[in-house]
Structure 1
């Protein structure tokens, strides 16, 4: 069943007519990576301390949709959507703001992610199981904290639990296909063998954390929101969602409501398309 699910997701991403950007005559997203986490993994409870008390566990997310006591265990399916290299290269050439291709990706991503989630949920239902995408629930929320914006279902933390990668100094998520990615996930009552989380720390894939020899993303940030001390989420948020970002998105033909994004710290860096620490023992 694990292989069936992986193949279904890959087929949807690679064959979807929506997954096509005219500007580059190629896909927005390349072949996805899919891994599985047990909904009983104690890390999900730990997230209430690490992230916030309101961060949902898989059980809470499932039962918020299907009702109290409806969940008796299962699996979290986490999906990495690697961004096409042509889009990455277009953004790598920029210094102060996002490229047109990157801005159009930003406008495209949410709708595609929702469509993929619905497809996977329907696939599981046809097999006799229940499933829900927590980030698409009415209960999903993004809210302000003293350190910046947070959500009650962090796709990056879900992906970490599934063993898909670790965090960088810029708070991005570095997978085997790099940091220039998008993430999504689905919770199901289908119980599957979970993938092994091999990382010894939550920052293992970041060269700066691991070897102290990088910091490329620090130099790439146009508003100095990244330093060796970490990531200023508030400064970053204001730039990514600010007026100039909205105007640029509109000029590009994107979605002014979500802005043009930035992504400079995810491109023209050693981790843009790969795990740069894979060469180290």
Structure 2
């Protein structure tokens, strides 16, 4: 049984790598480059106690995998399963362009925000449940459900399914002082996840702590993301989500998105704290130990 589960894990990983490599939706004709590079894929047990802890750490509305599954397939439908978490590293072409910026995102990042973060991410997030269905398993992407939401709070927006916290549960990395998520492919990434009744051996969590991959948190050095932020929304104390959100989705951001052929609804993003920093495309703790 374990051998079969191991084979299926490999099939899923290879399917996602192929999809990212071959999908036309992941290629910008304007940039002549992909939006994302080869993904990292890992698995968490749906019954991992950490998901229950998130109701305290994040909020009581944060769904557990059991709740996700039964909301989609009915009460009593859950009998165990896995959560598949996927890291999509942003391509070098887009990261390089954003490194040169100081006051806001590059044209390349603005294009990523609409055509990568929205169009392609939606596409691949729908593909994985369909692929699992072809293997005989039920699956759902929480962000594509009618109950998924982001609510305002005194400290900023809070969702009822956090892709970063799910990635942490799957052992893909740790948080950063700027509220990003540092993986083995760095912080300039996007994340998505799927809950399924496929049961496989979960991947181990190897980060030393919840922010173990962040140089500032772990060693008291760095802070490059603090100086990169154009609106001073990051400090040694953490991340001002409200100031960040106003900049990322404000009118100037919307105008810049439209000027580059993107959608005003999504804005142009920013990403300055994810580029020209030691954790941009790697885990900086690998060389700092």
Alignment TM-score, normalising by the size of structure 1: 0.98
Considering only aligned residues, what root-mean-square deviation do their CA atoms show, in Å?
0.8
SS in 2 for 1:262: coil
How far apart are the structure 1 equivalents of 2:122 and 2:229? 29
Deviation at 1:280, TM superposition (A): 3.2
Output aligned runs, 1:1-281, within 5 Å.
1-108=8-115, 109-281=117-289
Q: Is the 8 A contact 1:35 1:195 kept in 2?
A: yes
Q: Is the 8 A contact 1:87 1:102 kept in 2?
A: yes
SS in 2 for 1:166: strand
How far apart are the structure 2 equivalents of 1:47 and 1:257? 30
Deviation at 1:11, TM superposition (A): 0.6
Q: Is the 8 A contact 2:25 2:119 kept in 1?
A: no
Tell me the alpha carbon deviations over residues 229-256 of structure 1, each in whole angstroms, 9 at most, x when there is no partner: 0000011011101111111111111111
**Runs (4+) off by over 3 Å:** none
Q: Is the 8 A contact 2:97 2:106 kept in 1?
A: yes
How far apart are the structure 1 equivalents of 2:159 and 2:241? 13
SS in 1 for 2:66: helix
Deviation at 1:62, TM superposition (A): 1.1
Tell me the alpha carbon deviations over residues 244-273 of structure 1, each in whole angstroms, 9 at most, x when there is no partner: 111111111111111011110000100001
How far apart are the structure 1 equivalents of 2:248 and 2:131? 35
How far apart are the structure 1 equivalents of 2:114 and 2:42? 26
How many positions carry a matched residue from both structures? 281
Q: Is the 8 A contact 1:165 1:199 kept in 2?
A: yes
